[in-house]
Amino acid sequence: MALKDCLQEVIRGIRKGKLIAIYDGDEREGEADLVFHASFATPKKIEILRRAAGGLICLAVDREIAERFSLPFFSDLVSDSGNALKVILCKKTAYGDKPAFSIPINHNEVYTGITDNDRSLTIKKFSELVESGEGKQDFCNNFYTPGHVFLLIGRGIEHRRGHTELSLELARRAGMSGTMVLCEMLGKGKALSKQKVKEYCKKNRINFIEGREIYGRQ
């Protein structure tokens, strides 16, 4: 399939709530994430990420949403703290990027926050809040931290080409809000190889796309 056709098929899949596998590139993490748009969050999808991917389930948001809800980068929180946390240096990753992590959240209606039902609820409610147009106060009234859904803030694909930015770029091109759920695909002791990811995708009819196919066509 031609790169353009592959990208368009992936975008159509995002609009329909399908799972997509994104491989960032051999020159970066060399990892694949399973992703889908947050508005389609269900307990079943969270279970698939937990069992089939196995990494950290996160909710990526774009900078506009982060600013609307006054969400900070976690590294900034640590750097600005006046306590012992300040001595923990927030370094760049091994591949040179600043981390995308913000705060971990739960919705007020969850019980423990970690179950498939609870994480799905937190993600779905966050997506609904984004779509409602409400702001910081409504976010603060309905969510709390620490929680079990880790927020990631995208820096824009022109500044960073991680899974956070790649997935949010797909949402943008699909004409959807900047909220994407993602989870690393892990193997035994390390990330699942690109070949194994492709085999999984073929078996389960999941579209696979590489980062260069996304940022190479801005």
Point out the residues that are catalytic.
33, 58, 95, 106, 148, 184
Distance CA(136)–CA(138), nearest Å, equals: 6
Q: Which residues of 23-36 are buried (b: 16+ CB within 10 A; e: fewer)?
A: bbbeebbebbbbbb
1, 9, 46, 147, 150 from 55: Cα distances, Å? 29, 25, 11, 17, 12
Nearest to 139 by CA among 211, 33, 67, 204: 67
Residue 158 φ then ψ, to 5°: -75, -15
Alpha helices (H) along 28-153: 43-48, 63-68, 74-80, 116-132, 136-142
Residue 149 pairs in a beta bridge with 105
